[in-house]
Structure 1
């Protein structure tokens, strides 16, 4: 009887419930990318599946993790942490290639040359650096001995930058262009010379008991990496943001990220976009 049930599970379509977020505005590009990548992974997994959508409002990742734990839906993308990996099952392939931790800075026009005075991370303490009070990014900067002015939200931080209460606002290279468009303030611009980088992983997570789906996502992502479809999709969403940020021209200041779980696949260099940039800069310097 047990073998019959196992056979039925292996041959029947896998029902996959995925959250479809209503009223996505500021980060709709990322949301669409994760959705397409999830379907791409399932399409490359070799299994028969049926995708069903669960309509949800925009919600914090901590809430999404609880909904997976409660089996309201089966999988979603989230930034990793030791706590999250203890509660849910990650597929340890970084969906954004670490770009969430590749940060470029917003400044007022009067501070456009700020980066000329920053050679190492401690030089940032000559300026007022803003971040959210409960962001992991804030913990990372502080752990690297960078003083941080904290605020409750991204909107508040933009307002503080306008009002000269902070000088430098690091944002992910994949977030900053859309944020600038929404801000529509000609006095706010990208500082052109430096970028901060710390490895930061966004994974698909499943319920710990949903081994079949977790394995399918992993197999599908690995196959998409090998056949080039992962990079094709990634570039279709983010190549223009990277081009606009002139990453090849920036001096990248590497920071430690002690919040990463110990088994983050840092040794798999092709998973991390910024590693190629750092390697290129090292080779050029040599």
Structure 2
């Protein structure tokens, strides 16, 4: 695991100050800005200091040791100027690298006992705005747009500035790899126990259950195949094979429910031409209610099965890469408030409302599926 450095400002007043986060990965350097609007509590912590003090926290994979460097700016006739650097490790005796720091040893030693917890507390508390940089994946069908917007608008509503950079058109195996190595900040996946252990789960349902409502994408002209299907057993009797991506949670659901599955290794998007061909072992592609309309429009040889709704109680959640675990409470708080304020519902309607209406969800025959017991 690479070293992760986080910088946070602690200020005496309500002034906004800036720090940065530096992550080194595979020889590349990524910089992201952070802002913390530290108010009254931070002012007390600064113990009367005139200006702001950035605190750089470094956590390594081999030992959970916190090293803090403090750069203090003092006023001068020409304006602000940096005076000295002080570095110490808060789990051992404080050491001050710059002689000017000796003037404030008592203050700094008091800081030494509390800063590690205080800095994280300030970063996570509501009302302390921060610039948050996110590296996210895009998907070729545009299905990423809602998740990006939900994340961005939820954080902005809490006073944060959000900087998003993207890695375009990544297949899911690469997304998983990038999350494992910290090259993506987070991604949205169906929630499973395995992922909860592998990544850092952000506990919030992103589609209000819509992604667990599955509609079948089928070859045009195959609608009559499913006309008599009313139950799970009826669907089993057809002998039809669902196409799903290799390793997808959906594949486990289909198997647990006694349905036939073909798992596509590599690029799952090959399922569209495979399905359209009618000759490559795939009869239908179950897609989320939030996904299928756009995908049907993009694949004119395919059609939306009009009668059935295959349902299992699972939703998408955000999963953070472990180097970005400190964002978990910030994002959870922002999403919770987005749900309470109606922002999430508004975005679901904006991105999916017309599609959901066209699917006639409430008039479809519901076929409950079985969640795998291990997940």
Sort the TM-score into its range (normalised by shorter chain): 0.7 to 0.9
- Counterpart of 1:124 in structure 2 is 235
- Counterpart of 1:147 in structure 2 is 260
Larger Rg: 2
- Counterpart of 1:168 in structure 2 is 284
More strand per residue: 1 or 2? 2
Q: 1:189 to 1:60 in 2, by over 3 A?
A: closer
Which has the higher relative contact order, 1 or 2, with Cα contacts under 8 A spaced 6 or more apart?
1
Q: Quick check: 1:256 aligned with 2:331?
A: no
Aligned equivalents of 2:256, 2:327: Cα separation in 1:
36
Helix, strand or coil: the match of 1:117? coil
Helix, strand or coil: the match of 2:355? helix
Q: 1:73 to 1:51 in 2, by over 3 A?
A: farther
TM-score using structure 1 length: 0.76
User: Is this contact kept in 1: 2:186–2:319, CA < 8 A?
Assistant: yes
Quote how far apart the aligned CAs of 1:116 are.
2.7
Aligned equivalents of 2:172, 2:245: Cα separation in 1:
16
Spell out the pairing of 1:97-136 with structure 2 (5 A cutoff). 97-125=208-236, 126-132=238-244, 134=246, 135-136=248-249
User: Is this contact kept in 1: 2:244–2:251, CA < 8 A?
Assistant: yes
- Counterpart of 2:169 in structure 1 is 58
Aligned equivalents of 1:4, 1:168: Cα separation in 2:
56
Aligned equivalents of 1:240, 1:36: Cα separation in 2:
18
- Counterpart of 2:313 in structure 1 is 199
Helix, strand or coil: the match of 1:199? coil
Aligned equivalents of 1:102, 1:95: Cα separation in 2:
13
- Counterpart of 2:334 in structure 1 is 220
Aligned equivalents of 2:306, 2:260: Cα separation in 1:
22
Q: Among 81, 84, 94, which residue is 2:195 paired with? A: 84
Quote how far apart the aligned CAs of 1:7 are.
4.3
Q: Unaligned 5+ residue runs, structure 1?
A: 262-286
Which string of whole-angstrom CA distances, capped at 9 and with x for unpartnered residues, describes residues 156-213 of structure 1? 433343333344332222222222222122xx32221111011232112224575652
Quote how far apart the aligned CAs of 1:119 are.
1.8
Q: 1:245 to 1:162 in 2, by over 3 A?
A: same
TM-score using structure 2 length: 0.60
CA RMSD of aligned residues (A): 2.8
- Counterpart of 1:278 in structure 2 is none
